Structure 1
């Protein structure tokens, strides 16, 4: 298979995974504390497929959300802050399990701080509301990374 076709196919599938998992949210006990399933998957994608494919898939996912009307420009901004933060952390610190576990919560914290700055509200309540999701992301990022590594390395029966 042509490497360009393979790259496009992989990015398209990753964008679809991010978009679809972004629609699933586990509810929290308090409004605003729901957990979006795409967060740990995004961290795993960055770790396994690299920043280029990760950020391209993320931008495509956000564009799809805008086109479908499921995301606003504010949602896209927050998602991009998360993605860039995760990407920088993984690029600078590597792909060890502690980095993978902490990258998602750090991305969530940066996104909530950015949101607080935009809406002019106290960032601390926004951060506190994100804590349950940060814990879920930390717990799921490493297993999803291991799963994606196995899937990416799978060559099928020959």
Structure 2
């Protein structure tokens, strides 16, 4: 298969995964404490497929959300802050399990602090409300990374591509 076609296909599938899992949220006890299932998946995508594919898939996912009307520019901005934080930390510190487990909560905290700054409300309560979701992200990011690694390796065996 043409490497460009394969790259586009892979990015498109990753964007679809991010978009679809972003629509599922586990409810929290209080408003603002819900957990978005796309967070640990996004961390795993970055760890397995690298920064460029991760950011490209995230931009495609955000564009789809804007086109479908399921996201606003504020949502996209906050998501991009999360993505940049996660991606840059993984680029800087590697893909070991402690980094993968902790980068999601750090990205969520930075995104919530930015949200607080943008809307002019107390940022610390926004971060505190995200703590349950941060715990879920920390717990799920590494197992999802292992699954995606297996999928990527299997894909290489099926198509004969280099992994």
Q: CA deviation at 1:90?
A: 0.2
Question: Is it true that 1:107 corresponds to 2:110 in the alignment?
Answer: no
* Cα deviation code 1:36-76 (max 9, x no counterpart): 00000000000000000000000000000000000000000
- Determine the structure 2 residue equivalent to 1:152: 152
Q: Which runs of 5+ in 1 are unaligned?
A: none
Q: CA deviation at 1:156?
A: 3.9
Give the TM-score normalised by the residue count of structure 2.
0.95
CA distance in 2, matches of 1:41, 1:84: 15
Give the TM-score normalised by the residue count of structure 1.
0.98
Q: Which runs of 5+ in 2 are unaligned?
A: none
CA distance in 1, matches of 2:5, 2:121: 45
* Cα deviation code 1:58-110 (max 9, x no counterpart): 00000000000000000000000000000000000000000000010000000
- The alignment partner of 2:130 has SS state of helix
Alignment of 1:35-50 (within 5 A): 35-50=35-50
CA distance in 2, matches of 1:129, 1:150: 34
CA distance in 2, matches of 1:149, 1:50: 12
CA distance in 2, matches of 1:87, 1:5: 24
Count the aligned residue pairs: 158
